[in-house]
Amino acid sequence: MVAGNRPPLVGFAGEDLGYPRKRQHDQVVLPNLTLELHEGERIALLGESGAGKSTLLAALRERLCREAAWCPQQHGLVGQLSVYHNIYMGRLPEHSALANLWNLVHPLKRPWRDVNELCELLGLGGLAKRPVSQLSGGQRQRVAIGRALYQQRTLFLGDEPLASVDPHQALRLLALIDERHATTVIALHQRELALTHFDRVWGLRGGQLVIDAPASELTLGDLDALYPDANDQVTGSRDASNAWPTQASDMTSLPCSRGRL
Closest CA to 185 of 45, 35, 48, 6: 45
Distance, CA of 159 to CA of 221 (rounded, Å): 23
Kindly tell me which of 57 and 173 has the beta carbon lying closer to ligand ATP: 57
Tell the smallest beta-carbon distance from residue 161 to ligand ATP (Å). 12
DSSP string, 62-108: HHHGGGEEEE-TT----TTSBHHHHHHGGGGGGS-HHHHHHHHHS--
Q: Is the Cβ–Cβ distance between 171 and 111 less than 8 Å?
A: no
Residues 47-86 that bind ligand ATP (CB under 6 A): 47, 49-55, 73
* Cβ contacts of 57 within 8 Å, gap of 6 or more: 45, 157, 159, 185, 187
Closest CA to 173 of 124, 222, 131: 124
Number of C-alpha atoms within 13 angstroms, CB side, residue 73?
A: 13
Q: Is the Cβ–Cβ distance between 146 and 118 less than 8 Å?
A: yes
Tell the smallest beta-carbon distance from residue 30 to ligand ATP (Å). 8
Kindly tell me which of 81 and 261 has the beta carbon lying closer to ligand ATP: 261
Tell the smallest beta-carbon distance from residue 162 to ligand ATP (Å). 13
Kindly tell me which of 50 and 214 has the beta carbon lying closer to ligand ATP: 50
Task: By CB under 6 A, name the one of 3, 16, 19, 67 that touches ligand ATP.
Answer: 19
Q: How many residues does the chain have?
A: 261
Residue 228 in the binding site for ligand ATP (CB under 6 A): no
Tell the smallest beta-carbon distance from residue 81 to ligand ATP (Å). 25
Kindly tell me which of 17 and 128 has the beta carbon lying closer to ligand ATP: 17
Residue 246 in the binding site for ligand ATP (CB under 6 A): no
Residue 27 in the binding site for ligand ATP (CB under 6 A): yes
Tell the smallest beta-carbon distance from residue 71 to ligand ATP (Å). 13
- Name residue 208's beta-bridge partners: 205
Kindly tell me which of 180 and 191 has the beta carbon lying closer to ligand ATP: 191
Kindly tell me which of 45 and 127 has the beta carbon lying closer to ligand ATP: 45
Task: By CB under 6 A, name the one of 9, 10, 29, 143 that touches ligand ATP.
Answer: 29
Residue 258 in the binding site for ligand ATP (CB under 6 A): yes
Q: Is the Cβ–Cβ distance between 161 and 144 less than 8 Å?
A: yes
- In the complex, which residues of this chain contact ligand ATP (CB under 6 A)? 19, 27, 29, 47, 49-55, 73, 258
